[in-house]
Amino acid sequence: MYLLSVFSDFWQNFKQAIVSFDEISDVLDVLLVAFLIYSAIKLMRETRAIQLAKGAILLVVLYSVVTLLEMQVSKYLLSFIFSDLLVILVIIFSPEIRHALESVGRSSVSKLNIFNFVNRDNIFKQEKIEAAINGVCKACADMSDKKIGALIVFKKDTILGEIIETGTFVDAAVSAELIGNIFFPKAPMHDGAAIIEEGRVVAAGCILPLTSNSNISSELGTRHRAAIGMSEVSDAVVVVVSEETGSISVAKKGFLRRGISNGDLREILITNFIKDNTENESKLKKIFRGNKNE
């Protein structure tokens, strides 16, 4: 009877909403709710939140069954959980909530560079990034042959101030020699990660967060787990050179692509840090050229 009353109330509210659906604000309201639901589903699919969500759904189903069968003791115990459900959800989903807020905080408008068209400074910046990519690829190829472990983070939009503070400030132009010296086995910073931003090594010896994903292969060591973890909490692209096998891997958005060639590594980095910007600038040039002609 309890479930029937719930469905009955829902149906009555639904019909009432349909009847009163006559304003633009209602349309915007539906679109906003749809967007929030879509964003929540997308967020859960990209993180471990989907597993937690399944557990929450099972609890709701269990509570409904317990209530329907009038199991007083079980209902009393479960009521403690549901009375503080909001607080419990915030605690459990705190990493995912933080990730979502960081994603919202990243302005996609800044990627368009609306007020910063192709100019001498932009071209110089792209050249620095390409030179850094070439230097990293050359160093990774050399370290791969010698089986020297490395962990290199290419920063994008997410601010990595907390990560940078865990290492040693460097602020130097990227070169194959510098990367090789940082990760030389007897060097003091070789166990940490190097952070690269806009063609410069910002810091080295940095400590990265390990992934909380329990489904990854047991073959992966601390470097690979740190690379995945870093890519889960930021939009950075993380390059790993295995100390055991010498293989090169790249982590992005919580996924790890293992055993790639040096050419594939260069293509991935170029695509993420040069091609996107160039394509956006080309689109803007076409838009404003069209406006000018008109």
Q: What is the pLDDT of residues 202-233, one digit of tens each?
A: 999 999 999 888 788 888 889 999 999 999 88
pLDDT, tens digit (0-9, with 9 covering 90-100), for 112-143: 444 444 455 567 778 889 999 999 999 999 99
pLDDT at 182 over 50: yes
Q: What is the pLDDT of residue 198?
A: 87
Percent of the chain residues past pLDDT 70, beyond the cut: 67
Supply 242's token pair: 């295995």
Q: How far apart are CA 61 and CA 63, in angstroms?
A: 5
What's the pTM?
0.59
Supply 100's token pair: 């979502």
Query: Which residues, 6+ apart, have CB-to-CB distance to 81 below 8 Å?
Result: 59, 88
Query: Which residues, 6+ apart, have CB-to-CB distance to 241 below 8 Å?
Result: 140, 143, 144, 148, 149, 150, 151, 183, 247, 248, 249
Query: Which residues, 6+ apart, have CB-to-CB distance to 142 below 8 Å?
Result: 176, 180
Structural domains of the chain, ranges and CATH numbers in brackets: 2-105 (no CATH), 119-285 (3.40.1700.10)
Polymer length in residues for the chain: 294
Q: What's the N-to-C CA distance of the chain in angstroms?
A: 67
Q: How far apart are CA 69 and CA 72, in angstroms?
A: 9
Q: How far apart are CA 132 and CA 265, in angstroms?
A: 13
